[in-house]
């Protein structure tokens, strides 16, 4: 079984009741009522929730200016009393501030950043520059119908325990038929396809010895998916890649061009990599998503239909 050799991941301490956590908006503006629901969820776990100064600012599709969004994020990383940083929502804009992160502060006092989608643009540089393990998990713009009791409890365990996280293939997920190949073990990195593609030439480094996590929400259509996969393949950063873990594909149900749908585009692009693939993972923009660390070692087993990921906190 191929095994990755890579940097030692930097783990933050697990959260415990009484810890202070902070909500920030590095991308778009969240809904105040939904953020209040997210705060109530974490308060129920015994955490003390703080809202960053500019979390509800509005500037076009951004939650305020780049300077203010970055200041909120860096203030959270620099505050020794803050033990985790939660993104309120994704949308657009996190990529605009990725190069201004205070990596020295992160290295001095590691704390997890929780989020996905556009927040992938922050997870990647935090891993590249500081080795920080991120948490691909729900936003605090909390829309309750998306989460059942099991996904909420798995979210809590990912932050407050050091248990291994096992995500099982769901045959009902659109990506399930992409599965094939043997088991591999390597560091897990990735997330939202468009954000991973957008980090080529900037914050995405070699995935030699790694497993690439991809989830694909509806964007500009099938061509955008094809462009993303092609750019990643041509970048050279996937040389030595051990496998691809495919999460939720959402919003493409009616997209067909001359009989080709999103699965055809993904299969065409991913099989060119010549590595094992495990599809059908409930990770991403769909309902009841799993929470997984990014940067720790994972074992992907296409035959057993499992992705087993080492804890993202210590």
Q: Which residues are catalytic?
A: 117, 215, 285
Task: Tell me how far apart the alpha carbons of residues 136 and 9 are, in angstroms, rounded to a whole number.
Answer: 15
Task: Tell me how far apart the alpha carbons of residues 293 and 187 are, in angstroms, rounded to a whole number.
Answer: 10
Per the listing, tokens 């890579």 go with 6
DSSP letters for 23-65: EE-SSS---HHHHHHHHHHHHTTT-EEEE-TTTT--BTTBSS-
Identify which of 34, 8, 25 has the alpha carbon closest to the alpha carbon of residue 118: 25
Structure tokens at 59: 């500037």
In contact, 245 and 211? CB cutoff 8 Å: yes
Per the listing, tokens 């088991």 go with 183
């Amino acid at each position: 079984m191929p095994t990755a050799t890579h940097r030692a991941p930097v783990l933050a301490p697990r959260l415990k009741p009484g810890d202070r956590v902070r909500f920030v908006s590095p991308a778009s503006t969240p809904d105040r009522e939904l953020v209040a629901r997210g705060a109530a969820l974490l308060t129920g776990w015994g955490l003390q929730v703080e809202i960053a100064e500019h979390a509800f600012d509005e500037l076009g599709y951004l939650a305020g200016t780049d300077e203010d969004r970055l200041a909120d994020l860096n203030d959270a990383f620099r505050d020794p009393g803050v033990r985790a940083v939660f993104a309120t929502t994704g949308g657009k804009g996190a990529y605009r501030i990725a190069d201004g992160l205070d990596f020295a502060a992160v290295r001095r006092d590691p704390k997890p950043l929780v989020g996905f989608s556009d927040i992938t643009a922050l997870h990647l540089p935090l891993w590249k520059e500081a080795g920080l393990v991120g948490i691909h998990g729900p936003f605090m713009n909390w829309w309750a119908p998306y989460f059942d009791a099991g996904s909420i409890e798995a979210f809590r365990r990912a932050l407050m325990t050091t248990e291994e996280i096992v995500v099982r293939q769901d045959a009902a997920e659109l990506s399930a038929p992409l599965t094939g190949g043997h088991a591999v073990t390597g560091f897990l990195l990735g997330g939202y396809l468009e954000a991973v593609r957008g980090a080529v030439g900037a914050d995405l480094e070699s995935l030699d010895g790694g497993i690439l996590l991809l989830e694909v929400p509806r964007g500009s259509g099938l061509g955008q998916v094809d462009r993303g996969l092609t750019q990643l393949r041509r970048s050279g950063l996937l040389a030595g890649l051990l496998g691809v873990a495919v999460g939720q594909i959402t919003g493409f149900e009616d997209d067909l061009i001359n009989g080709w749908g999103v699965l055809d585009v993904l299969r065409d692009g991913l099989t060119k990599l010549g590595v094992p693939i495990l599809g059908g993972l409930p990770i991403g923009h769909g309902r009841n998503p799993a929470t997984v660390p990014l940067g720790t070692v994972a074992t992907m087993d296409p035959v057993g239909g499992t992705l087993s990921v080492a804890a993202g906190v210590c």
